[in-house]
Amino acid sequence: MIDKKEIEHLKAIAETGNITEAAAKLQEKLKSLDETPLNIAITGESGSGKSSFVNVILGLRDDAEGAAATGVIETTMEPKAYSHPTLPNVKLWDLPGIGKPDFQADNYLKQVNFNSYDFFIIIASQRFTSHHASLAREIHKMGKKFYYVHSHVDNDLKGEKRKSNFNKERTLNQIRENCIKNLRELGEASPRVFLISNWEPADYDFQLLQETLANELNGEKRHVFILALPNISAKIVEKKKAELQERIWEAALVSCAIGALPIPGFSLVCDVVILMSRMSLFCKYLGLDEESLTNLARQVDKPVEELKSVIQKSPLASTITKDFVMSLLSKYFVPVLGSLAGGALSLGTTYYMLKSFLDDAAEDAKKVL
């Protein structure tokens, strides 16, 4: 997380008597750890629901500020990036439609700056066409991953529900098999198709798609992708909690290394910075901040105060201040003089406090859901 050289650099700054500057450097480093870039390209024919899909991932209503423009006609004329509200380093790119008669997959990829994206989501609201398949082949040739998504599956089910022998699971399997058969006829050897509804993201294959993307990304990209997922189910909250849990040890080890430095007051100042930084981010990733709660309230047409009323154990991200952390630390013995014992106690205190805080925040995030 932070290597020995960086800790030595912090020590050198602190030894000059400027503990505040050293703590500021530590805070800057902690922030940069969550800035791994992730660029996701969303493409498909006009009217297939590309822009609405972008908004679902961002956790925004179609008419919210910062949302991708939607409409019954093509609204995306050139690649447009939409930053995640909590993780601005995560960008979803709404690409122009691919349905024009003179569409050429190789030219299209050059026009939309193919190399800018980590992977592609190819969306169709009805049948997959030769445009989708030829685009997928070109993406594959260039060494990137792509995923077929059939949107508007809720509309497909509406017509079938009128039949007396309607069976939801059987109908979904038939739709999926038909999409796969269609793509095989277009030259795809073993296509995978995810059925989703932009209006019902907690249903159908939306979570399966998210799990597949997470499993096929590696390292920091996977970590950032999971944290960027919309909080639409308890399962996603648990996935986020597991990712954040892994980072607690790293923060505790940094606290330990700094706590062992023989500089009076330095350990305490840095522990406060580490705890403030991590706790604030835990709340933001789990949707326990003003912006996330306001967006969610708009999506579900409820007063934001109603959502806040079930948050009982955690503060909102904006209220995690130095005074708040100091009040928590006052319940524990935190050494202000560096020593080996000081390092060990800093590790234990930081780990315990972050773990307890994360447990409470995840529980409150589920209550909001």
Is residue 132 within 8 A of residue 193, CB to CB? The reply is no
Q: Per residue in 290-335, pLDDT tens? A: 988 888 888 888 899 999 999 988 888 888 888 888 877 776 555 4
Every domain of the chain with CATH number 3.40.50.300 lies at 38-228
| Strands of the sheet with 145-150, listed across from one edge | 80-83, 90-94, 38-44, 119-124, 145-150, 193-195
Residue 180 CB partners (closer than 8 Å, separation 6+): 191, 193
Q: Give the model's confidence band at 217: pLDDT under 50 very low, under 70 low, under 90 confident, else very high.
A: confident
| Long-range contacts, 238-242 (Cβ 8 Å, 24+) | 238/362, 239/214, 240/285, 240/286, 240/362, 241/286, 241/358, 241/362
Structure confidence by residue, pLDDT tens digits, 229-262: 888 788 889 999 998 887 777 777 667 666 655 5
Please tell me the least confidently modeled range out of 145-159, 185-199, 346-360: 346-360
Q: Give the Å distances, CA to CA, from 159 to 156, 176, 189, 195, 284.
A: 6, 16, 30, 16, 40
Measured CA to CA, the distance from residue 193 to residue 209 in angstroms comes to: 9
Residue with the two structure tokens 């060990």: 344
Q: Quick check: 337 pLDDT over 50?
A: no
Q: What is the largest CA-CA distance in the chain?
A: 81
Distances (CA, A) of 183 to 152, 187, 278, 360: 18, 7, 45, 46
CATH homologous superfamily of 38-228 equals: P-loop containing nucleotide triphosphate hydrolases (3.40.50.300)
Q: What pTM value is reported for the model?
A: 0.77
Is residue 195 pLDDT above 90, yes or no? yes
Under DSSP, the state recorded for 316 is -
Burial class (CB in 10 A: 0-12, 13-18, 19+), 278: buried
Task: List C-alpha distances in Å: 113 to 92, 120, 263.
Answer: 14, 12, 51
Q: What is the DSSP letter of 95?
A: P
Distance between CA atoms of 211 and 208, rounded to whole angstroms? 5
Sorting pLDDT into bands at 50, 70 and 90, what band is 362? very high
d(CA 281, CA 244): 9
